[in-house]
Amino acid sequence: MSADIERRDFLKTIAVAGAGLGLGCHPAAVGPNAPPGATATRVAPGVAPTALFTAPPIPTVRVGFVGVGHQGTSHVENFTKIPGVEIRAICDLLPEHVERAQKIVTDAGQPKPEGYSRGPEDYRRMCDEAQLDLVFNATPWELHAPVMLAAMNAGKHAATEVPMAASLEELWALVETAERTKRHCVMMENCCYDRTEMMILRMVREGAFGELLHGECGYLHDLRTLKLTDYYVNRWRIKHSIRRNGDLYPTHGVGPVAQWMNVNRGNRFDYLVSMATMSRGLNLWAAEHIGPESAEARQRYALGDVCTTVIRTTGGQTIVVTHNTSNPRPYSRNILLQGTKGLIRKYPEEKIYLEGRSPNDRWEPTTAYQSQYEHPIWKSLEERSAGAGHGGMDYIEDFRLVESLRAGAPTDMDVYDGAACTSVIMMSEASIAAKGQPQQMPDFTRGAWQSRPPLGIVQAAG
């Protein structure tokens, strides 16, 4: 939904759901001062399948949307342009959001989808009664796991905007439920489909960088105005900055790097260390733009302005992840990949150096290699994705999800991948709370990562 649910009510709902599942918990490897949600983790029984999950093909994918605010509306627009899709239901706390999304569908020449807006949990009614194959979730973070759990338990495949969940307990619940119900549970990480990131994936697979050694990434985006005004309904996002200190939004950078390094598919995140600076940016902005005596300026924010995390993989690579949404700066995901044969950097400009190919000790523009290494998905979908959100990558990620469901093929990112990338949030919180102590990363595959096949250079139907 687009409105905030009080945290105590949300936690109560999750506690009741957890009790009903009857699954035990054990202490995770986190520091003694870890925040709530990082001190215990549900453990799904058994070992994940070594083969990538597939479900029977669905010729026409019937979709219901939960949460059609900013990003959700963009996805509705994308889905009206993807072949083999019927948008059957729209759910949001605000009736005007439902009506806006319904109009997008009817303006595209399709039947009006059923609307659901009776309250903060009307998504449960939609999941139970609507004839759907896929529930697509673009709600505030606290609802990502509850909506997907409701969808899978009602027999639907589930997809969510990032991050996948708000706690380790929820991540394990998603893994267990996906395995039990045999339904897809996908985190829609659009940055895995950005043009440069996909070109890098192809270059990695074709050996251009040699053996991978190190990656850098992050989310560096000045969100002060959006967080401290009414851009987000009920200002739900600033509430996380008030109570949490860690890398709250790592997946835009970590998602692509994890694919390059075969995380969960022959490699995995082993442990991490996180530290954060003091908090200054939100208070300073509020004092200048709202007033020095305003509630926003006087509020104490737990979130440090800059959070730096270092992850070590079992394969021996390191990944530096940076989070900063509280200071003035141009947007960046700080992408860098270093291998034994060269490296590539994306921000502030795209440049590459390959030993034996680039001029000695000089960067080259990545465009010098685009014709050779352009990913086939971009070749197929560039024209169709033109004008879609975030430079077209939003359309491409939506297209790939639908294409996988229609073909009965594995999705590019599955429940284990989404859980691993999202868990960086909770483990960074735990490390910061424990004064930078290393935190062992959870293995959601329970050992199956050693034989699961890596993501290849996937073709698209176009």
Q: Are residues 183 and 196 in the same domain?
A: no
User: Which runs of E-coded beta strand occur in 153-237?
Assistant: 157-160, 185-187, 212-220
Q: What is the mean pLDDT of residues 392-410?
A: 97
What per-residue confidence (pLDDT) applies to 225?
A: 98
Residue 205 falls within a domain, yes or no? yes
How many other C-beta atoms are found inside a 10 Å radius of the C-beta of residue 446? 15
Q: Are residues 183 and 45 in the same domain?
A: yes
Please state, in angstroms and rounded to a whole number, the distance separating the CA atoms of residues 432 and 323. 13
DSSP, collapsed to helix, strand or coil, labels residue 391 as: helix
Please state, in angstroms and rounded to a whole number, the distance separating the CA atoms of residues 101 and 75. 10
pLDDT at residue 5 greater than cutoff 50? no
> Which of 189, 219, 252 delimits the end of a domain?
189
Residue 392 falls within a domain, yes or no? no
Q: Are residues 185 and 203 in the same domain?
A: no
Count of domains forming the chain: 2
Strand partners, 61: 85
Q: Are residues 211 and 356 in the same domain?
A: yes
Q: Write the pLDDT tens digit of every residue in 378-390.
A: 999 999 999 998 9
What per-residue confidence (pLDDT) applies to 36?
A: 41
Q: Are residues 167 and 233 in the same domain?
A: no
Q: Write the pLDDT tens digit of every residue in 171-183.
A: 999 999 999 999 9
What per-residue confidence (pLDDT) applies to 62?
A: 98
Please state, in angstroms and rounded to a whole number, the distance separating the CA atoms of residues 285 and 413. 37
Q: Are residues 104 and 167 in the same domain?
A: yes
Q: Write the pLDDT tens digit of every residue in 310-341.
A: 999 999 999 999 999 999 999 999 999 999 99
Q: Are residues 248 and 328 in the same domain?
A: yes
Q: Pull the structure tokens for residue 20.
A: 């009903």
What per-residue confidence (pLDDT) applies to 462?
A: 61
Q: Write the pLDDT tens digit of every residue in 186-244.
A: 999 999 999 999 999 999 999 999 999 999 999 999 999 999 999 999 999 999 999 99
Do the beta carbons of residue 222 and residue 177 sit within 8 Å? no
| Alpha-carbon torsion angle 7, 10, 12, 15, nearest 10 | -120
More confident residue, 152 or 5: 152
Please state, in angstroms and rounded to a whole number, the distance separating the CA atoms of residues 5 and 441. 29
| Confidence label for 460 from pLDDT (cuts 50, 70 and 90) | confident
Largest CA distance in the chain: 65
pTM of the model: 0.91
| Confidence label for 37 from pLDDT (cuts 50, 70 and 90) | very low
What per-residue confidence (pLDDT) applies to 354?
A: 98
425 closest CA partner among 202, 227, 231, 169: 169
| Confidence label for 88 from pLDDT (cuts 50, 70 and 90) | very high
CATH number at residue 370: 3.30.360.10
Q: Are residues 205 and 177 in the same domain?
A: no
Q: Are residues 116 and 38 in the same domain?
A: yes
pLDDT at residue 2 greater than cutoff 90? no
Q: Write the pLDDT tens digit of every residue in 8-29.
A: 333 333 333 333 322 223 333 3
Q: What's the domain range around 368?
A: 192-375+414-450
Q: Are residues 14 and 123 in the same domain?
A: yes
> Which of 189, 223, 241 delimits the end of a domain?
189
